[in-house]
Structure 1
Amino acid sequence: MRTTLLAAALAATALIPPTAVHAAPVRLGSCDAGQLCLWKKPDFTGARQVHELSTVDVDSCVPLPAGTKAQALANRTGRPVTTYQSAECDETGEFETYPGGGTWVPRSSYQVRAFKIWEN
């Protein structure tokens, strides 16, 4: 019985990757109130793009510059933001809408190539 419990415990711990046990918490990137911030790499790393309502048409598709994509984002615009896998905001690819109250996404499940900021 003791051997069976020990074996089960060892088997369960073998399923947990060592990095998961000692992984440091993700540090939020810098993104001020009123901004939509997009980072090239996961965990708020790499080049950062900043967009504000004063420079974006609300309810319009905003493609990222050609060849650019993002893998992390923070929505601090105060409005809902939808990110798209498609550079044309086509809904046949992946897309997700994030509330504007301060949403931090360290790892998007797809490469973000465009976004829309919505009217409340």
Structure 2
Amino acid sequence: MRSTTVLTAAVTTLLATGALAAGVLGGAAPVAAAPPRLGPCETGQLCLWAKEGFRGARHTHELTDVDIEACVPLPAGTTAAALANRTGRPVTTYQSAECAETGEFETYPGGGTWVPQSPYQVRAFKVWET
């Protein structure tokens, strides 16, 4: 009985820490984590979500609404933690609201890039000519 209780406690701990999913228990096959559900974003749009995992308020931008290669700051007091680039053009997101390269920035291809968790809070972006 005690060994069953100890084994159950060990498996529960491993599940809680993700070690079982990583295949730590005696050759157990790794369990793949479910991929995040992609947020809705139409062709031709740049979609930005307030929260990771494509959750929270979503803001959409289309090429007709932005100047190519111009810095587009998000509305004051807002940031994005997830994004989808379906503009057909490369988009660079910036940690800085002024698109300053002294902060973090990353460029994403425009053919359909979903980023469920940005490595920084996005405060501005630029759409580039292809």
TM-score (norm 2): 0.77
Q: If you compute each CA radius of gyration, which structure gives the higher value, 1 or 2?
A: 2
For residues 24 and 92 of structure 1, what CA distance do their matches in structure 2 show? 35
Deviation at 1:14, TM superposition (A): 4.3
* Closer, same or farther: CA 49–16 of 1 in aligned 2, 3 Å: same
Partner letter of residue 17 of structure 1?
T
Q: Percent identity?
A: 72
For residues 20 and 64 of structure 1, what CA distance do their matches in structure 2 show? 41
* Closer, same or farther: CA 112–16 of 1 in aligned 2, 3 Å: same
Deviation at 1:24, TM superposition (A): 3.9
* Residue of structure 2 in register with 1:40 after alignment: 50
* Residue of structure 1 in register with 2:106 after alignment: 96
The answer as to 2:121 corresponding to 1:111 is yes
Number of equivalences: 109
**Unpaired segments ≥5 residues, structure 2:** 1-9, 22-30
For residues 110 and 47 of structure 1, what CA distance do their matches in structure 2 show? 17
RMSD: 2.3
Q: Deviations over 1:53-77 (max 9, x none)?
A: 0010010000000000000000000
Partner letter of residue 39 of structure 2?
G
* Residue of structure 2 in register with 1:55 after alignment: 65
Structure 1's consecutive aligned runs of 4 or more residues displaced over 3 angstroms after TM superposition are 13-16, 18-24
Deviation at 1:16, TM superposition (A): 7.5
- How do residues 21-32 of structure 1 correspond to structure 2 at under 5 angstroms? 21=21, 24-32=34-42
Deviation at 1:46, TM superposition (A): 0.1
Greater relative contact order structure (CA < 8 Å, 6+ sep): 1
Partner letter of residue 92 of structure 1?
T
For residues 19 and 49 of structure 2, what CA distance do their matches in structure 1 show? 23
